[in-house]
Amino acid sequence: MPDAALLERFNIAGPRYTSYPTADRFVEAFGHADLEAAYVQRCSIPALANRPLSMYIHIPFCEALCYYCACNKIITKHKERAAPYLVDLERELALVVQQLRMHTGSASGRGDDGGRAGMLSQLHFGGGSPTFLSDEQLTQWMARLREHFDFTPDAEVSIEVDPRTVNPARLQHLRALGFNRLSFGVQDFDAAVQEAVHRVQSTEQVFELVHTARQLAFESINVDLIYGLPGQSQASFGQTLQTLVALKPDRVALYAYAHLPERFKPQRRIDSLRLPSADEKVALQALALQAMNQAGYVDIGMDHFALPDDGLAAAKRKGLLHRNFQGYSTQPDTDLIGLGVSSISKIGATYSQNAKDIESYRDALEQGHLPVVRGLALSRDDLMRRDIIMGLMCQGVLDIASIEQQWMVDFASAFAREWAQMRTFESDGLVQLSHEGIEVTAKGWTFVRAIAMVFDRYLQEAQRRAQFSKIL
């Protein structure tokens, strides 16, 4: 277990590395034509064109405002607002399918009417609250996706669930549609904390839903918790952790609350005087790490934990973890199609992000364009450093010989500054250094973001760090 001094020292701001370079590096000069060119390049090479895809679909609607939330969302109780948005989503899907069929068809000889647009190995509905949609709307959308895509036998099909919007019957419907993973947003079991952040749901309700999900044979159940919320204390959060351990979800995402009311308007409703102090927040994190360890959870990295028999834990043991905009994954690294407002795509050596508001998103679609408003074409240095950072984040390893061979560089001269910084982590027992490379220790997994940050060229300017949430 890391000591309090280390937790305090690394209580700094930094990116989560769901990508490298991170989204703050995207530029508006990258537009829909650049993304279309990336599709052409991907689909012109059969080995790439036939590789399975990952897909993320953003549903921005929520029925109620959670004060802590920094997601791209629309608060409304008017369910009819989802219908025109789903029409827009279908337009975007049609444009993506057109790109995939048109160019893949020419490479494979099928022609641009060649039926399927590809294989999906990962599908995730996020938000907002995807369960804002009705059962009928979710049914129609899953049917639409299956019209265009096949699913791999081991495909991860997941959806974020607001416990307040579902019941056992709805879970049964989700399972029938092919969803095999659920993520429940709980945040805290304490009633006073729930009131303070305007997200009230009973413990009994959550237990019933998780019990039902197990009966329905969902392959993995995740629960989100947040520490650093108003009203949390070591006593109250300790009780929440006891409740979590009793619930025993397959996976736990334990996030640190970042209070940025100047950037996220809903957070202005939170009484900052009720927030835990910096020392108290560190103590809450230490309490959580201890509870997860004692309950037998495997520390996957950053703020994710999994039971030893869960696929994430198995992937970590085998060195097969991957990471994308959806977080840690057991699926091999794939291109990612993001659909919906603010969604991010990764196609080849590019990242692209959709318009963040529905009006701009719809306007682009009405012009027949993919709704891209910014993105990035990665440089050779970006790609090399991405390999290094993702290797550390996922496998906890940097193999010098592999980097030198793949990128034709002399590691010692190219990364002399970074290697010197690693000596500090070595003295703290967080990494082991050798002529072969870097290995993150068990103690160092808690601080893997800080370790990876050393190789982030864009963070060499210290002032950039203030743009990110704290890493712990």
Q: Show binding-site residues for S-adenosyl-L-methionine.
A: 56, 68-70, 127, 160, 187, 199, 224, 258, 344
> CA–CA separation, 312 vs 183, rounded Å?
14
DSSP character at residue 357: S
> CA–CA separation, 345 vs 363, rounded Å?
19
**Binding site listing for [4Fe-4S] cluster:** 62, 66, 69
The candidate with the shortest Cα–Cα distance to 141, out of 59, 74, 60, is 59
Q: Note if the bond before 266 is cis, omega within 30 degrees.
A: no
> CA–CA separation, 253 vs 222, rounded Å?
7
Question: What distance, in Å, lies between the first and last C-alpha atoms of the chain?
Answer: 14
| Three-class DSSP category at 25 | helix
* HSE (side-chain half, CA atoms, 13 Å) at 391: 16
**Binding site listing:** 56, 62, 66, 68-70, 127, 160, 187, 199, 224, 258, 344
Long-range CB contacts for residues 378-381, cutoff 8 Å, separation at least 24: 378/21, 378/349, 378/350, 378/351, 380/407, 381/457
DSSP string, 180-195: -EEEEEEE---HHHHH
Q: Which residues contact 348 (CB under 8 A, 6 or more apart)?
A: 38, 41, 42, 48, 335
* HSE (side-chain half, CA atoms, 13 Å) at 327: 20
> CA–CA separation, 148 vs 471, rounded Å?
39
DSSP string, 236-270: HHHHHHHHHHHH--SEEEEEEP---TTT-GGGGGS
